Structure 1
Amino acid sequence: MAGRVEGKIALVTGGAMGLGKADCEMLAAEGARVIVTDRECEQAHKVAERIGGDAMALDVKSEEQWQEVLKAVEERHGGLDILVNNAGNVIFESVEDSSLKNFKLHMAIHVEGTFLGCKYAIPLMKNRGGASIVNMASTAALMGYGNIVAYTAAKGAIRAMTRSIAMHCQDEGYGIRCNAIAPGGIETPMVRDISGRGGEELMEIPDGPLPADALGAPKDVAAAVLYLASDESRFVNGIVIPVDNGLDARPHH
């Protein structure tokens, strides 16, 4: 039986570790040829070698690097079917604590990186018989967190930009859908480090239902990425899917 994204060409940013790595692994397992991109080029190559994909160095803040990477993708593969804008960072600072430099860094990585990826990938994704852009937002775009002002602003921008891009591609008849995922707390190296467990082994997240306060596993987000990347979601466009174990739905007092 063919995989759910069999024969599709996929590019994932921030694919060397965490959510991006899980996305790469799941897309490859379901038949996609995956281009793993990251600033950590050595780690990206290890992931690509393990899944039978390609690896390229990419700093998502760089317009020139985006152009170079997508030119190489077009030359090697003739086009692109799936773009996952996953690369990100987070610095815990309130509006009073945050420096303008750190605020701009979040905007450059999350917002400009996603913008550049979409802008330069869309010409490679037109008329592929159904292509998909998956942007990584966050529950921080849906809720109020006082201690991550730059991160919440950036993820909120991604949420809004996703809808605009979806409607543009639909209006132009490109056959490209654009959706976003809003993960809650997921056990990744970044979450481990910012929760004061730096250097520790990542926790094993058990299978089956999880309690309300549990962290999720990267594969929980990767499964949503796979659905949005596949033709199964052909009628899903311009939305944000929370993958948060009900966090956004739960009343807070």
Structure 2
Amino acid sequence: MPDLSGKAALVTGCASGIGAATVRRLAADGARVFGTDLYEARGKALCEEVGARFAVQDVSDRALWPEIVAQAVEAFGRLDILVNNAGMVTGKSIGEVDDGTWDRVLAVNLTGTMAGCRAAIAAMVDNPGGAKGSIINIASTTAMAPLPTDVGYSASKGAVRVLSKSVATWCAKAGYAIRCNTVIPGATETGILDAAEADMPGLKAAVAATSPMNRLADPAETAAAISFLASDECPFMTGAEMLVDGGALSIHPGF
């Protein structure tokens, strides 16, 4: 179990799913956690449950990011971990997507992640004891095997993979001990999937079947991978992609 004692973490999209599981896991592993989300009631309740701090945040608001990071630093005296988890899906193909939907999904999933990295690095450089930290960006298997039914989500998550590598190598070349890695979850039991199942009965079973394990991931399984990357147990791991997909991308689609 990773030891995050004394570390300060910021987790976006903390109100449900992987974000909520991450807040719980990082806190259980000893970190002091600051969670953010657009959904105030759920996010605040979750953070209060585990003794974390909470703030309302729309990650696409680039101007708000330095303020959010400053709040975390003020609360904990430093920032060691950023988990860029907040995201959205659209369910619209290239034949259906409108400009507003395209702009919004890129603003949340890609620009929000970039702005978070930028603000976090600025804080981590000033950490007591020197520039050090771990940034974990949450992508998706659609970053490697895109969905024809969601062009915006697929494109934005693919871009997050490359963004993370650029951030990782820039920090390394600058001489900062700030790592940046990507977690790539497969189909996960979340509220988003529940809502989709209501509209498309049988979807969960079909999605679960994309993994040779024939099941959905529990959000806590992804949170465990995030905690490992947040810890000091992998100091030479940066610019990497950690698959938590139940083997979905390891099997030929015909089998």
Q: 1:153 aligns with which of 145, 152, 155?
A: 155
CA RMSD of aligned residues (A): 1.9
Q: 2:188 aligns with which of 186, 189, 198?
A: 186
Aligned counterparts of 2:64 and 2:225: Cα–Cα separation in 1: 28
Aligned counterparts of 2:98 and 2:199: Cα–Cα separation in 1: 25
Aligned pair in 2 of structure 1 residues 197, 9: CA closer, same or farther (>3 Å)?
Answer: farther
Q: Is the 8 A contact 1:130 1:231 kept in 2?
A: no
Comparing 69-78 with 158-167, greater Cα deviation is found at: 69-78
Q: Is the 8 A contact 1:133 1:178 kept in 2?
A: yes
1:131 equivalent in alignment to 2:130: no
Aligned length: 243
2:239 match: 238
Aligned counterparts of 1:17 and 1:6: Cα–Cα separation in 2: 24
Q: Note the C-alpha offset of 1:129.
A: 6.3
1:89 counterpart SS class = coil
TM-score normalised by L of structure 1: 0.91
1:196 equivalent in alignment to 2:198: yes
2:208 match: none
1:213 match: 214
Aligned counterparts of 1:73 and 1:241: Cα–Cα separation in 2: 26
Aligned counterparts of 1:223 and 1:40: Cα–Cα separation in 2: 24
Comparing 229-238 with 66-75, greater Cα deviation is found at: 66-75
Structure 1: 4+ residue segments shifted above 4 A: none
Aligned counterparts of 1:179 and 1:173: Cα–Cα separation in 2: 17
Q: Note the C-alpha offset of 1:197.
A: 6.8
1:78 match: 77
Aligned counterparts of 2:234 and 2:216: Cα–Cα separation in 1: 26
Q: Note the C-alpha offset of 1:214.
A: 0.9
Aligned counterparts of 1:245 and 1:161: Cα–Cα separation in 2: 24
Aligned counterparts of 2:77 and 2:61: Cα–Cα separation in 1: 23
Q: Note the C-alpha offset of 1:67.
A: 1.9
Partner deviation per Cα, 1:116-148 (whole Å, 9 max, x = no partner):
101111011125564100000100001132111
TM-score normalised by L of structure 2: 0.90
Q: 2:176 aligns with which of 174, 177, 181?
A: 174
Aligned counterparts of 1:197 and 1:46: Cα–Cα separation in 2: 28
1:91 match: 90
1:11 counterpart SS class = strand
2:30 match: 31
2:251 match: 250
Comparing 31-40 with 128-137, greater Cα deviation is found at: 128-137
Aligned counterparts of 1:145 and 1:61: Cα–Cα separation in 2: 23
